[in-house]
Amino acid sequence: MNQQNRRPTRRRRRTRLSVLGIAVVTVFIAALLAIAVYFIFRFENPCQSQTSHVETTPAPTLAPTQTPPHPSPGPDATTTPEDNNNNETTNNDTTSASRFAAFSFFDPAREEEYYAFAARRPELTDDEVVWMVNVHLNQENFYDVIFTIPATDTMPLLVNPVWRLPDGFEPDNMVGVNNDDDNIVAIPEAVAAFRSLRSASRAAGFDLSITSGFRTAERQATLFERQQPVDTSRPMAVAKPHHSEHQTGRALDIWGPGSGLMDSQATSSADLSPVGTWVYANAHVHGFIIRYGYDVTHITGFIFEPWHITYVGIHIAQYMHDMGIRSLEEFVGRNPNATIANFANPAAR
């Protein structure tokens, strides 16, 4: 009886234990599944969020403004698409990279003009293309497209066949050039610079005098009419009214000793007289440039004028001399925001 009673009791206990074990294992597995599901969802959602983040954030581009400017404006500053591919800070999409963007004086707004001008003038370097387009020299003929100078109180002032002075422009407070009572007048800065140049010329055995300074637009119109007909595809001798540097009061014509304008027959610096050679070598020290050089007539639009000097300030004149920049067009094309004031500080250039 006891054994009979014991056997069913043991069987019931074993059965209870088995059921309990199955229940424990089931709960354990369920718990594992629950934990697994929890972790799957926990890590899946941030992944989806990350994916949508990538999709909504614009991919980095090779926009011109993101390309670091080249430290040197020299001809070796060109950048090829191959160079950009090697740049780890950019992505693989080089289709939007401009081949001109490496230049510090690159203007994104002029990019189409750079490409069009480079295609039309394949003999130019990319460097030349950019600075020439910057000052609107991408024209077939001089005077084809004309822009009015917006700020005439900025110096230096680029006045040429492309850039004209506003109607009625006349500088204030002009003074006599050769002496205080002179009818030939210019702005005070240019006169002070000329007198400095003249003192130095006297020390070198020469004596400079000026035959023309400020000139009105009306006077310039008379001079221009005498030159008709004018071929605007070639460098000229006389500017149209409103396009003459003489109207700025910053340009002076040097009188040669007994022979009209100084070195008026010269076609290159090799042809200059001793005084002309001296001016050519020393004008920049006093803030002047030889504005219409013999080797930049296709840029300036004017024939070689060794007698015509233009005041740009000693810092810009010295910089152009040191850098071998042969025209004011090139200087402004490379330094579109330069003024005499901000160029006095080399760190601010």
Tell me how far apart the alpha carbons of residues 243 and 263 are, in angstroms, rounded to a whole number: 23
Judged by CB, which is closer to Zn ion: 55, or 218? 218
Q: Which is nearer to Zn ion, 113 or 253 (CB)?
A: 253
Whole-angstrom Cα Rg for the chain: 38
> Exposure of 107 by Cβ count < 10 A (0-12 exposed, 13-18 middle, 19+ buried)?
middle
The stretch among 15-23, 156-164, 226-234, 300-308 that binds Zn ion (CB under 5 A) is 300-308
| Residue indicated by tokens 């440039």 | 289
Q: Tell me if residue 175 falls in helix, strand or coil.
A: strand
Q: Which two tokens stand for residue 252?
A: 């002076």
Question: Among candidates 97, 99, 103, 106, which has minimal Cα distance to 70?
Answer: 103
Write each residue from 42 to 81 as x if it is in contact with Zn ion (CB under 5 A), else as -, in one continuous string.
----------------------------------------
Smallest distance, Å, CB 251 to Zn ion?
A: 5
In the complex, what is the shortest distance from the CB of residue 98 to Zn ion, in angstroms, rounded to a whole number? 39
- Residue numbers 222-281 binding Zn ion by CB under 5 A: 253
As a whole number of angstroms, the distance between CA 27 and CA 34 comes to: 10
Report, in Å, the least distance between residue 311 CB and Zn ion. Answer: 12
329 contacts Zn ion (rule: CB under 5 A): no
CB of 246 to Zn ion, least distance (A): 6
User: What residue is closest to Zn ion based on CB?
Assistant: 308
- The two beta strands, 251-255 and 163-164, are unpaired
C-beta of 214 vs 319, nearer to Zn ion: 214
Using the rule CB under 5 A, which residue among 308, 315, 326, 334 binds Zn ion?
308
Segment lying near Zn ion (by CB under 5 A), choices 164-172, 231-239, 308-316, 323-331: 308-316
Minimum distance between the CB of residue 203 and Zn ion, rounded to whole angstroms?
25
Smallest distance from Zn ion to CB 333, Å: 22
The count of residues interacting with Zn ion (CB under 5 A) is 2
How far is C-alpha 15 from the chain's CA centre? Answer: 92
The nearest distance, CB 220 to Zn ion, in angstroms, is: 11
Give the tokens for residue 173. Answer: 């407070």
Q: What's the one-letter identity of residue 20?
A: L
Nearer to Zn ion, 242 or 308 (CB): 308
Give the residue with the Cβ less far from Zn ion, 286 or 291. 291
Contact 189/344 with Cβ under 8 angstroms? no
Nearest Cα to Cα of residue 315 among 291, 269, 348: 348
Whether 97 contacts 84, CB under 8 Å: yes
Nearer to Zn ion, 102 or 283 (CB): 283
**Quick one: 128 or 253, whose CB is closer to Zn ion?**
253
**Tokens linked to 236:** 């000229």
Number of H helices, E strands in the chain: 11, 8
Q: Give the whole-angstrom CA distance, residue 286 versus residue 312.
A: 10
* 77 vs 159 by CB, closer to Zn ion: 159
Q: How far apart are alpha carbons 323 and 293 in whole angstroms?
A: 15
Q: Shortest approach of Zn ion to residue 224 CB, angstroms?
A: 13
The window from 43-51, 156-164, 267-275, 307-315 that contacts Zn ion (CB under 5 A) reads 307-315
Q: Give just the sign of the alpha carbon dihedral 232, 237, 242, 243.
A: positive
The smaller minimum CB distance to Zn ion, of residues 127 and 253, is found at 253
Nearest approach, Cβ of residue 213 and Zn ion (Å): 9
- Give which of 81, 151, 138 is closest to 112, Cα–Cα: 138
Which residues of this protein are in contact with Zn ion, per CB under 5 A? 253, 308
